[in-house]
Homo-oligomer: A and B are copies of this chain.
Amino acid sequence: MNEFIKKLYQIETPNVLIDYQRLVENIKSIQKIANDNRIKLRPHIKTHKCLEIARIQLEKGAIGITCAKTEEALVFARNGVSSITVAYPVVDEYKLIRLISTCRQLKIELGIVVDSKYGVRNISKIAVKFEKMVKIYIKIDVGLHRCGLQKDNPEIIEIAQSIKKQSYLEYAGLLSHAGHSYAAENKYEVKDIADIEKSNLIHVKNMLNKAGIDVPEISVGSTPTVLATEDFNGITEIRPGNYVFMDNTPLRLGLISEDRIALKVLATVVSQNDEYYIIDAGSKILSSDTGAHGSGIDIGFGHAYPLGASDKQDDFLVVCRLSEEHGFLKRNKTINLSIGQKVLILPNHSCAVINLVDYVTAIFSDGNFQQWLIAARGCSR
């Protein structure tokens, strides 16, 4: 057992480990896609909720961040991030007061998404109250069938016109999220989804242009579609989130190799029976997600590798079942574990794992560790 493995045997489990080198490589790699295509990168921080990681993203060239929730935005706003898009239809006045007044006070560039006149009305009301300019993106549904307007909905034009009339709203353009790409079969299907997303947005752009309305920005999100897109022409901004860590989902889609996964869960075997090894990582650390947006096929809840196994990790145990504080590893003929032994788990959905822990352990290539606070953990409001 080498010194590094010995050191990992001294930290308590379950513990979320971040491979710093892989993290930085992932950040640089997506930044390169943005730079090469002359588009802006505004990463979604819901994946990591961590100030240290946002700082690396901004240092490498991100123009700001994307958040899902008001409370997330406030954490980053209060910690030096100067441009924030809340890619969520914030409709509640109390939330808008907190968000808009804080961004006014801290001189933060703020964008919010709308898909209803109700949203435009409420945001405008609070923006006027605090005399704060707010950029507004109209959300277009490109197939996830969650938020957003359908591409031929004439309300898009009405909403754009309505935004343009408000004194404290700046009409920014269109925004979409092809979250259904996580449920694709393979990378070719992801590419098709990305193509449809782009053509739908260009369709809406043309419709707006015909009505005399320009479209300054076309902002798209999702790590799978960014990885699968070949031609970004027409798009001005990308907002992937998951790419910092990756997980079993882009791996399953054939979009990445396993050596890009930067987040793993360290766990200990605490019991065993004829069918399973039982580990101390359950749904309260791995989550019960099989993928993002309820996607995922019957792949279990993660892949477990014995800690210190050879680099050529071609065999693993499937985390086939979860209790809250226990994981069930289905035994096979090639991997033998014993009670007290440690395993590393590649999870299905790293964004869900992060939201379950207050700290992660960042591991540097020299073998040193650092504890990073998940500053926006649990910020669901």
Question: Chain A, 250-283, contact with B by CB distance < 8 Å: what is the 0/1 string?
Answer: 0000000000000000001011110110101111
Name the residue in A12, A15, A115, A380 with the highest tally of chain B Cβ atoms < 10 Å from its Cβ.
Answer: A380
Which residues, 294 to 310 on A, are CB-close (under 8 Å) to B? 294
9 closest cross-chain pairs (CB), A and B: A147-B271, A288-B288, A68-B325, A118-B339, A89-B270, A12-B381, A293-B323, A285-B380, A294-B321
6 examples of A-B residue contacts, CB within 8 angstroms: A12-B95, A15-B381, A89-B271, A285-B380, A325-B380, A358-B378
Given A69-B325, A293-B322, output 15 extra A-B contacts at Cβ < 8 Å: A14-B381, A88-B270, A88-B325, A90-B270, A92-B268, A141-B273, A146-B273, A147-B271, A147-B326, A150-B273, A280-B380, A285-B380, A355-B356, A356-B380, A357-B378
Q: Is the CB of B289 within 8 A of A288?
A: yes
* The residue from B270, B281, B293 contacting A147, defined by CB atoms under 8 A apart: B270
* A302 → chain B closest CB, angstroms: 13
A83 interface contact, C-beta 8 A = no
Q: Size class of A's contact patch?
A: 35 or more
Q: A116-B271, A273-B145, A275-B145 are in contact. Are A12 and B288 (CB under 8 A)?
A: no
Q: Is the CB of B324 within 8 A of A46?
A: yes
Q: Is the CB of A325 within 8 A of B12?
A: no
